[in-house]
């Protein structure tokens, strides 16, 4: 039996793959500017030192659940310093890994800037509550559940970037505001490229250390949570977001987990040791469990809409 590769060996072996995929990323990423996506002429001065008008619920007509999703998405983007710390500590700041870490951080920073500008100018959400939520959320920080393991972190971000892409996309749709939809579609396109980068790296890891890669995927799926999990009221917000079809268990299973697993072709990987095989069995069971949970949720949601319809 071969001994597992150390974290350092994995980083070294994957460096060339990082370099190749960073080049690919840079050739595909489109430059874009947050200010072009914000309808500045709709803006009005707020109360406070400048003596404008305080925010009121009636300032914006976007649906409540869209506000909730926008807040969750923005607070998630806001926590970037913690994510940067996590990946810079694990992947390092040198060579191709460091170049990726910094580039990724710069792109994610653009997302928070753009969404905040949009929300503030359009008065879509209460800016005081938003700022307080940002302070609370960032003060708590973020730690990755498997933050000291390279392959676990790569597996996590492969799923998480795709989940974030879907969530941004669907949030844009639910706002009913074409400007917001265009902005979030632009952000979602970035998240997709991030997902492809990480997914390609883990694909290379499957060649290099198949059993370790399989274990990483199984562990990450078992306790997967979105990075916004620490947001105040996250459980309640997630239910609202799921009920609105912005991000629910069905999408998590069918549009995030399954397509990524398919790209890695996990059920055809060869050369696994005992633990690698056990990890793969665990993944298969997890997919079955997710299927049941997603079906249960869909039933409940359908029953709820039927109940609401009779009340109208
Ligand atoms: Fe982002
Ligand atoms: Fe991203």
Q: How close is the Cα of 310 to the center of ligand 2, in Å? A: 41
Q: Beta partners for 53?
A: 46
C-alpha distances in Å from residue 38, one per residue of 58, 63, 65 = 20, 19, 21
pLDDT at 2 over 90: no
For helices 178-208 and 210-222, give the axis angle rounded to 10 degrees.
140
CA dist 186 and 76 (Å) reads 17
For 272, left (φ over 0), alpha (ψ -120 to 50), or beta?
beta
pLDDT in tens, 73-84: 999 999 999 999
pLDDT in tens, 271-295: 999 999 999 999 999 999 999 999 9
Smallest CA-to-CA distance from 138 within 101, 65, 84, 66 is with 84
pLDDT of residue 214: 98
Q: How close is the Cα of 210 to the center of ligand 1, in Å? A: 29
Smallest CA-to-CA distance from 154 within 219, 94, 99, 107 is with 219
- Counts for the chain of helices (H) and strands (E), in that order: 12, 0
Q: How close is the Cα of 97 to the center of ligand 2, in Å? A: 16
pLDDT in tens, 5-19: 999 999 999 999 999
Q: What is the mean pLDDT of residues 154-171?
A: 98
DSSP 92-115: -SSHHHHHHHHHHHHHHHHHHHHH
Q: How close is the Cα of 82 to the center of ligand 1, in Å? A: 13
CA dist 247 and 174 (Å) reads 11
Task: List the structure tokens of 197.
Answer: 């980068």
pLDDT in tens, 138-149: 999 998 888 889
Smallest CA-to-CA distance from 191 within 153, 155, 227, 165 is with 165
Ligand at minimal distance from the CA of 77 is 1
Q: Based on the number of CB atoms within 10 Å of its own CB, is 273 exposed (0-12), middle (13-18) or buried (19 or more)?
A: middle
For the chain, give the number of residues: 312
C-alpha distances in Å from residue 231, one per residue of 70, 74, 111, 138, 139 = 13, 11, 18, 9, 11
pLDDT in tens, 186-231: 999 999 999 999 999 999 999 999 999 999 999 999 999 999 999 9
Q: How close is the Cα of 186 to the center of ligand 2, in Å? A: 12
Ligand at minimal distance from the CA of 160 is 2
Q: What is the mean pLDDT of residues 21-32?
A: 98
Ligand at minimal distance from the CA of 162 is 2
Q: How close is the Cα of 190 to the center of ligand 2, in Å? A: 6
**In this structure, are residues 265 and 180 in contact, taking their beta carbons and an 8 Å threshold?**
no
CA dist 48 and 174 (Å) reads 31
Q: Which run of H or of E encompasses 286? A: helix 274-311
Q: How close is the Cα of 111 to the center of ligand 1, in Å? A: 5
pLDDT of residue 1: 54
Can you tell me whether residue 273 is helix, strand or coil?
Answer: coil
Task: List the structure tokens of 250.
Answer: 């069905």
Q: Which run of H or of E encompasses 128? A: helix 127-140
pLDDT at 90 over 60: yes
**How many other C-beta atoms can be found within 10 angstroms of the C-beta atom of residue 308?**
9
């Amino acid at each position: 039996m071969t001994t597992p590769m150390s974290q350092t060996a994995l980083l070294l072996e994957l460096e060339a793959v990082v370099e190749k995929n960073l080049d690919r990323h840079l050739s595909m990423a489109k430059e874009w500017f947050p200010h072009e996506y914000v309808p500045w002429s709709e803006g009005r001065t707020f109360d406070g030192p400048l003596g404008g008008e305080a925010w009121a619920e009636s300032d914006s007509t976007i649906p409540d659940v869209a506000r909730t999703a926008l807040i969750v998405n923005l607070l998630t983007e806001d926590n970037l310093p913690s994510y940067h710390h996590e990946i810079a500590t694990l992947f390092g700041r040198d060579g191709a890994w460091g170049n990726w870490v910094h580039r990724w951080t710069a792109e994610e920073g653009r997302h928070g800037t753009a969404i905040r500008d949009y929300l503030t100018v359009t008065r879509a959400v209460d800016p005081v509550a938003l700022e307080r939520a940002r302070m609370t959320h960032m003060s708590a920080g973020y730690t990755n559940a498997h933050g000291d393991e390279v392959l676990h972190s790569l597996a996590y971000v492969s799923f998480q970037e795709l989940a974030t892409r879907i969530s941004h996309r669907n949030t844009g749709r639910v706002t009913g505001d074409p400007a917001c939809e265009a902005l979030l579609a632009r952000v979602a396109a970035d998240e997709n490229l991030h997902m492809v980068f990480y997914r390609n790296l883990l694909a290379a890891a499957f060649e290099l250390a198949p059993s370790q890669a399989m274990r990483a995927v199984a562990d990450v799926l078992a306790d997967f949570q979105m990075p916004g999990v620490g947001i105040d009221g996250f459980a309640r917000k997630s239910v609202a977001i799921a009920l609105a079809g912005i991000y629910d268990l069905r999408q998590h299973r069918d549009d995030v987990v399954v397509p990524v697993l398919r790209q890695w072709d996990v059920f055809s990987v060869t050369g696994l040791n005992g633990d690698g095989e056990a990890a793969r069995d665990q993944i298969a069971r997890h997919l079955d469990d997710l299927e049941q949970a997603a079906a249960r949720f869909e039933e409940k949601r359908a029953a709820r809409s039927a109940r609401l319809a009779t009340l109208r």
